[in-house]
C-alpha cells in the first residue's frame, strides 16, 4: 500500500470518528508543519504555536476536507494562514549582513564548512519576500508538486512556477554574494556552487546529464564523514537512467536526500 493510499485511508477513518487514525494522521505531518512554520514565521516559538493551531484546526475541520487537494497542501494552507495572522512573515525578514558573514572565522578555508554553508542558505532563504519564500519552502523544501503548492497557496500552477523561478534566481544571487571571498584572500573551493544547485532542487530539468554534473560538483567538496554518500548513490542511479527521462520516484528521493544534506540529517 502506497503512502498516498494509506493517508487517504487514515483521512476516511478519522472522518468516521476513529481517534487513533486522526492522531496518526496529524502526528505524521507535525514535523513538516513545524519546519514550514519556523522558516515562514521566522520564530521557533511562533512555529510551535502554528503547529498547535494548524493541527487543532485540521482536527476540527477535517469533516470538510474533501480530498480535492493533497492533505499536506491543506495543512500548509492552514499553517500559512496562522503565520500570516501573526504578521511575522513580512515584518521580521532578516536583513543580510554580508560583511559580517564574509569576515567571520579565523581562516578563509574554514569559511565554507558545511555548517556555515547551511547557515548562509538559511539566511538567504529568510531574506526572501514571503510570497517567494513560501513557494520555495513548499516546492523545494517540502517536495510538494506544483499543483499541490498551488492548492496550498491558492495560486495558479503558472504563478507557482513563475514565483519559484524568481525565488531561485534571488536565492542564487544572495548566496553568491554571501560567499564572495574577502578581498586579498585566496578564493575558496566552489562548494557554494553545490549549495546553489541543491537549493534549486532540479524540477523538470532533472536529467541523467544534470545528475552527472552535480556528481562532479560534489566531488569538488570535502566529505570525510560520508554525508553526501546517499545523495551520490541516487545521483548515480539517475545518471545511469535509460533515456532522457528520470522517474518521479527517483526525483523525489533525490530531493529528500538534498534536503537531508542541507539540514545535516544524513
Banded model confidence at residue 85, pLDDT cuts 50, 70, 90 = confident
**144 to each of 8, 81, 94, 226, 237, how far by Cα in Å?**
17, 18, 25, 28, 22
Burial of 209 (C-beta count, 10 Å sphere; 0-12/13-18/19+) = exposed
Average pLDDT of every residue of the chain: 75
The confidence score (pLDDT) of residue 110 equals 44
The confidence score (pLDDT) of residue 86 equals 73
CB atoms within 10 A of CB 141: 22
pLDDT tens track for 129-142: 889 999 988 888 78
pLDDT tens track for 107-158: 444 444 556 666 777 788 888 888 999 998 888 878 888 898 999 999 999 9
**CA-to-CA distance for 90 and 105, rounded, in angstroms?**
31
pLDDT tens track for 211-238: 887 777 777 666 656 677 788 888 888 8
CB atoms within 10 A of CB 115: 10
pLDDT tens track for 175-189: 777 665 555 555 444
**Contact in structure between 34 and 43 (CB atoms under 8 Å):** no
What is the average pLDDT across 231-251?
Answer: 79
pTM, two decimal places: 0.57
3-state secondary structure of 1: coil
Amino acid at each position: 500500500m502506497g503512502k498516498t493510499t494509506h493517508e487517504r485511508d487514515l483521512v476516511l477513518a478519522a472522518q468516521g470518528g476513529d481517534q487513533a487514525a486522526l492522531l496518526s494522521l496529524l502526528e505524521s505531518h507535525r514535523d513538516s508543519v513545524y519546519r514550514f512554520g519556523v522558516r515562514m514565521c521566522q520564530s521557533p516559538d511562533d512555529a510551535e504555536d502554528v503547529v498547535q493551531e494548524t493541527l487543532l484546526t485540521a482536527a476540527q475541520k477535517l469533516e470538510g476536507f474533501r480530498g480535492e487537494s493533497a492533505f499536506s497542501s491543506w495543512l500548509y494552507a492552514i499553517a500559512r494562514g496562522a503565520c500570516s495572522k501573526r504578521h511575522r512573515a513580512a515584518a521580521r525578514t532578516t536583513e543580510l549582513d554580508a560583511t559580517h558573514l564574509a569576515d567571520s572565522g579565523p581562516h578563509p578555508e574554514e569559511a565554507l564548512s558545511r555548517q556555515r554553508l547551511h547557515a548562509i542558505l538559511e539566511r538567504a532563504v529568510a531574506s526572501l519576500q514571503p510570497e517567494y519564500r513560501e513557494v520555495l519552502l513548499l516546492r523545494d523544501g517540502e517536495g510538494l508538486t506544483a499543483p499541490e503548492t498551488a492548492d496550498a497557496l491558492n495560486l495558479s500552477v503558472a504563478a507557482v512556477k513563475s514565483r519559484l523561478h524568481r525565488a531561485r534566481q534571488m536565492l542564487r544571487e544572495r548566496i553568491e554574494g554571501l560567499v564572495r571571498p574577502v578581498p586579498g584572500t585566496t578564493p575558496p573551493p566552489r562548494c557554494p556552487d553545490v549549495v546553489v544547485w541543491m537549493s534549486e532542487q532540479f524540477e523538470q530539468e532533472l536529467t541523467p546529464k544534470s545528475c552527472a554534473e552535480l556528481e562532479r560538483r560534489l566531488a569538488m567538496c570535502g566529505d570525510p564523514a560520508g554525508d553526501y554518500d546517499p545523495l551520490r548513490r541516487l545521483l548515480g542511479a539517475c545518471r545511469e537512467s535509460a533515456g532522457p527521462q528520470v522517474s518521479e520516484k527517483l526525483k523525489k528521493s533525490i530531493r529528500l536526500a538534498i534536503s537531508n544534506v542541507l539540514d545535516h540529517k544524513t
